Structure 1
């Protein structure tokens, strides 16, 4: 006598897609409602055409102060007592020159302030104390 066994149907696992689709549409609606679609209004201006001109060079005088407190005008070492006269000569050629003071971080701040005072007395109108950006 032969017995036939019934084969059981294998169950297949399926993820319910209806809830997933609902979540996707809810996220889509949320982002559509919270996104700002405003376009900034500007003023219509017809700008003139540019003609070729010579590139403008930066007019600056750089004063360096190293860790020992020695002063350099450009790359030339200079005595602190002569700084006023040399700055006055350079500034008298162009009073709009920018004086950039690059002082070592280890020096006392009063030395850099003294150089700024000398530059101002020499006629400098624009001065910067240069720093480095920290990463």
Structure 2
């Protein structure tokens, strides 16, 4: 005896796309709101373009700021107003003199910015901040 069963028409399984689209849009809105699109305030620097020619020998002054915030011009300790006067005198005779600032890594950034402001006020157009390459 064969029993025939009636086969029911299977209904297809459908994913609820409406709720999936809602979730995707909520994620997009979340990431848009949590992303920081504002430019950070800082010192604006125009980087020079690299050339393959060797750098020309040029005269440089070195300004060192140690971990205590003491400023040295060469090997002599100077106050900020003395630094301004000394740099003005030097830059009057050689305006293309490059100035390299070597600041201790533990120093508060505000002090370095003060020194760089004094150097700019003296009329220096070639100012660099010295850094070290990370060791592998």
Runs of 5+ in structure 1 lacking a partner?
1-55
Do the aligned partners of 2:80 and 2:118 also contact (CA within 8 Å) in 1?
no
Runs of 4+ residues deviating >4 angstroms: none
Deviation of residue 90 (structure 1)?
1.1
Aligned to 1:18: none
Q: May I ask how many residue pairs the two structures share in their alignment?
A: 80
| SS of structure 2 residue aligned to 1:124 | coil
Aligned to 1:105: 105
1:125 aligns with 2:125: yes
Deviation string 1:95-114 (CA, Å, 9 cap, x unpaired) is 10101000000101111111
Measure, in 1, the Cα distance between the counterparts of 2:69 and 2:81: 13
Measure, in 1, the Cα distance between the counterparts of 2:124 and 2:81: 17
CA RMSD across the alignment: 1.2
| SS of structure 2 residue aligned to 1:84 | helix
Structural mapping, 1:1-135, within 5 Å: 57-135=57-135
Deviation of residue 81 (structure 1)?
2.5
Measure, in 2, the Cα distance between the counterparts of 1:70 and 1:80: 9
Deviation of residue 89 (structure 1)?
0.9
| SS of structure 2 residue aligned to 1:100 | strand
Tell me the TM-score normalised to structure 2 length: 0.56
Larger Rg over CA atoms:
1
Runs of 5+ in structure 2 lacking a partner?
1-55
| SS of structure 2 residue aligned to 1:96 | coil
